[in-house]
Structures are given as structure tokens and as C-alpha cells.
Amino acid sequence: MLQTLCRTGGAVLKHSQRTVPVLWATQAQQRWVSSLPMNTVVLFVPQQESWVVERMGRFHRILEPGLNFLIPILDKIRYVQSLKEIVIDVPEQSAVSLDNVTLQIDGVLYLRILDPFKASYGVEDPEYAVTQLAQTTMRSELGKLTLDKVFRERETLNTNIVHSINQASDDWGIRCLRYEIKDIHVPPRVKESMQMQVEAERKKRATVLESEGHKEAAINVAEGRKQAQILASEGQKAEQINNAAGEANAVLAKAEAKAKAIRLLSEALAEQNGNAAASLSVAEQYVSAFSKLAKESNTILLPSNSGDISGMVTQAMAIYGSLAKQSSKKIERVTPEWVMEKSEDPAPPAQ
């Protein structure tokens, strides 16, 4: 007996799950749903489906997936709700943006039934109700945005539509998961103006980029010239410093050499026969100077007694002797007496 009932219930269940089309929203859009199964006492509910059972016309319970038992005649399966995610194609509709541009827009709605009781008794056709709510919400949200923001803030628009749908569909036991805009059709004239705007924006960007390129090139050239001038001035500065250092070293070397020569000359004059050697040196220089006058210049300046070489030498030595006496007197006035007393090697007297 039990085997016969199980076989009969299985056959009826297979027959009941043949899908039939149910029209809603528009004639072009169809949704396939399962027909209501018959009460065969023993029932097998498929996974991800909920069967709403009424007992004597009043809600009794919801059958869970698996094996279930019902009382014949008293219990009746009133609604079959699918718990899977449902995809609904929202028909194309017209909407006016904030800047008075008429748009033709359609979308796709993804929803899921969370409460089969509310979906069965809260609204007559939950999917149709959600579709109409999505259309009205989409029109109201588009009216808050300009045409440029509709394309730029498409993701924000989808989020706002989902939030508005969920606020109204909580009493229906339906949860809207996401909403996606498929196509946005713009009037031809507006499309042409948008194309012209895009071309003008691209030309503007090209002009700006070209001007920035010229600007950077001019800056690079000026920077190169500046660096070249700085390097050249630094090179001249270093050259002048090196030249000055070399001249200073040369002057110091010449001064040291001259001082050494004078020191040696003074030591030589202080020795015996120093005056004779000095007279000889002056005479040689006198003769050498006269020998060069005719070679280096056409103008010759001669003293009145140019033939008296001995007189010239005697005069030069007299000048030297007077200068030596004056320098020795100055040294004696500057040097203290106690230094002169303690000096072991007194200076020789001037000749």
C-alpha cells in the first residue's frame, strides 16, 4: 500500500513540475514558474523551493525540501516560491534628466525571495511589483542627475536604485541584490552635440599638451644656458684664482730670491775688499747699460760726463757710502744700550 502511494506521488510530482509560461509585466516578457502540485499525501519538495500549504483555506505551514506528508482534502498547496536568485529584465522606458534630456534606458534586476510567506500573501505578484518599483525608482533617480553625471556616476545610480527598492520590498519578503543598467539611448541631436563636445575637448587637450611641450622645451633650453653660464663663470673664477695664486707665489719667490741676494750682497760688502767689488759691479752695469741704448731705442740720453767712467763709479760709491752711514745711525738710535753692551759681535764700522 505504501509503495503504491509513493509511486503515485512521484508520478504526480513529475507531472506537476512541467513548466508553463505565465505572462506578466508586458506581453514580450515571460517568466517560467512551476505549476501547483496536487496533494498526494506523500510529497517530495525539491531543493531551493518552498511550498506554502493552506489547511481549509488558511495558512498552515511551509514545506521544507525533502519528504513531507499532507492530509488529503484538508491541506492544499497554494503557492510555490523559488528561493534561487531571480533575474528580471526591466523593460526599456523613457526618463528625463535634470538638464531636460529625454533618455531611453533599460536594465536588469537581480532579486531573491527571503520570506515565502510575505512573498505569497504580501503582494499579488511580487516580481511584477518589484519591476514596476524599479522603473519608477530609476526615473526618479535619473531626474536628479544631469546627462554627464548619468554616464559618469552609473555605479552610484545603480546603488541608489537598489537601496530604494529594498526599502519598499521588505514587506514583500523580497531582497534586491543588485541592479544593472544595460543600455542608455540618447536622442540623435544630443548625441551629435556630445560628439562635438568630445572632439572639442580632445582638441583642447592636444593644444594644452603642445603648449606644455613648448614650455618645457623653452625651460630646458634656458636651464641649459644658465648652467653653461654658471659653469663658465666658475671656470673663469677658478682660472683667476689660480692665476692670482701663481702670481702671488711668483712674487713671494722673487721677493725671497731678492732678499737672499741682498743678504748675500750685504755679507759680501761687509767682507774685505767689498767696496772694490761693488765698484767693479757698478762699472760693469754702467757699460752694459750704455751698450744697450743703441739697440733698444732710437732716442739716447747721455750724461754730460759720459766718458768719465771712473768719476761715475766714484760718485755711485759715494752715494752708497752715505746711505750706509745713515742706516747705521738709525740702527744705533733704535737699538737699546743694554743690547749693544751684550752684543758679542759688533757691526764693523762703515768705510
Give the CATH number of the domain where residue 147 resides.
3.30.479.30
Asked if residues 89 and 31 have their Cβ atoms less than 8 Å apart, the reply is: no
Residue 15 scores a pLDDT above 80:
no
Q: Which three cell numbers stand for residue 334?
A: 733704535
Q: Residue 156: what pLDDT?
A: 83
> Do 88 and 172 reside in the same domain of the chain?
yes
Residue 26, classed as helix, strand or coil, is strand
Could you tell me if 91 and 147 lie in one domain? yes
Q: What is the dihedral of CA 156, 160, 165, 170, to 10 degrees?
A: 110
Mean pLDDT score across all residues of the chain: 76
Name the domain count of the chain: 2
Mean pLDDT value of segment 252-256: 88
Q: Which of 161, 173, 45 is nearest to 93 (CA)?
A: 161
Supply the DSSP symbol for 256: H
For residue 266, pLDDT beyond 70? yes
Indicate if 74 and 159 belong to the same structural domain: no
Evaluate whether residue 295 is within a structural domain: no
Query: Residue 93: inside a domain, yes or no?
Result: yes
Instruction: Provide the domain limits for residue 59.
Output: 37-83
Residue-level pLDDT at 341: 45
Where are the extended beta strands (E) located within the chain? 19-24, 26-34, 42-45, 49-55, 58-63, 66-69, 75-82, 86-96, 102-113, 174-185
Does residue 100 sit in the same domain as residue 163? yes
Instruction: Give the best-scoring range by mean pLDDT among 16-20, 97-101, 283-287, 295-299.
Output: 97-101
The CA distance from 248 to 254, in Å, is 10
Same domain, 91 and 74: no
If asked whether residues 97 and 173 sit together in one domain, one would say: yes
Q: Is the model more confident about 271 or about 258?
A: 258
Residue type, 211: S
Cβ burial, residue 82 (10 Å; 0-12/13-18/19+): middle
Report for 9-23, 229-243, 249-263: range of highest mean pLDDT: 229-243
Query: Taking the C-alpha atoms of 251, 252, 256 and 257 in order, what is their torsion angle to the nearest 10 degrees?
Result: -40
When pLDDT is averaged across residues 249-267 and rounded to a whole number, the result is 84
The pLDDT assigned to 327 comes to 54
Judge if 140 and 166 occupy the same domain: yes
Same domain, 91 and 76: no
One domain, residues 164 and 93 = yes
Q: Band of the pLDDT at 291, cuts 50, 70, 90?
A: low
- Range with lowest mean pLDDT among 28-32, 97-101, 158-162, 317-321: 28-32
Which percentage of the chain shows pLDDT scores above 70?
68
- Region 168-191: mean pLDDT is 85
The predicted-structure confidence for 300-342, as pLDDT tens digits, reads as follows: 555 666 566 666 667 666 766 665 566 555 545 544 444 444 4
279 Cβ neighbours under 8 A, 6+ residues apart = 313, 316, 317
Q: What is the mean pLDDT of residues 35-64?
A: 87
User: What is the C-alpha separation between 276 and 64, in angstroms, rounded?
Assistant: 146
